[in-house]
Amino acid sequence: MARAAQTNYYVDSINGSDSNSGTSDSSPWRTLAPVHAHDFLPGDTIHLRRGSTWDSGLVIDDSGTEGSPIIFTSYGSGAKPIIRRPGVTWGRAVHIDADWVVVEGLLVRDAHEA
């Protein structure tokens, strides 16, 4: 069954909960675990809350299409969301194994490889 429209997902490391649906800014996920477990479709947008920090790294393995990429971006006010891997001797803070993905408005740091 094809989905009619794109879906927006929200992640907030401060006020979210992984038991939330993640489909509105009033019920965001907390960690990146649901992001890693979810199968995103072309046109979906994953919004990461400004002021949030995640230490687990981000794995992107779902592909969009040329006219409908999967987008990772920020929302809210404050500092850009941070994705990092502190204290890890080897590993990537962001690993993209997909096509037609846009990553914008995020800060990646403390990464040994990006």
pLDDT above 90: percentage of residues in the chain: 77
What's the structural domain count of the chain? Answer: 1
C-beta atoms surrounding 53 within 10 Å: 15
Within-domain flag for 105? yes
| More reliable by pLDDT, 11 or 114 | 11
Q: Of 109, 2, 113, 98, which Cα lies nearest the Cα of 54?
A: 109
pLDDT at 1: 43
Give per-residue pLDDT as tens, 44-63. Answer: 999 999 999 999 889 999 99
Within-domain flag for 14? yes
Give per-residue pLDDT as tens, 58-86. Answer: 999 999 999 999 999 999 999 999 998 87
Within-domain flag for 2? no
Within-domain flag for 60? yes
DSSP for 35-95 reads HHHS---TT-EEEEETT-EESS-EEE----BTTB-EEEEEESSSSPPEEE-TT-SS-BSEE
Task: Give me the domain span that covers residue 96.
Answer: 8-109
Q: What angle do CA 85, 83, 44 make, to 5 degrees?
A: 135
Within-domain flag for 104? yes
Within-domain flag for 114? no
pLDDT at 21: 98
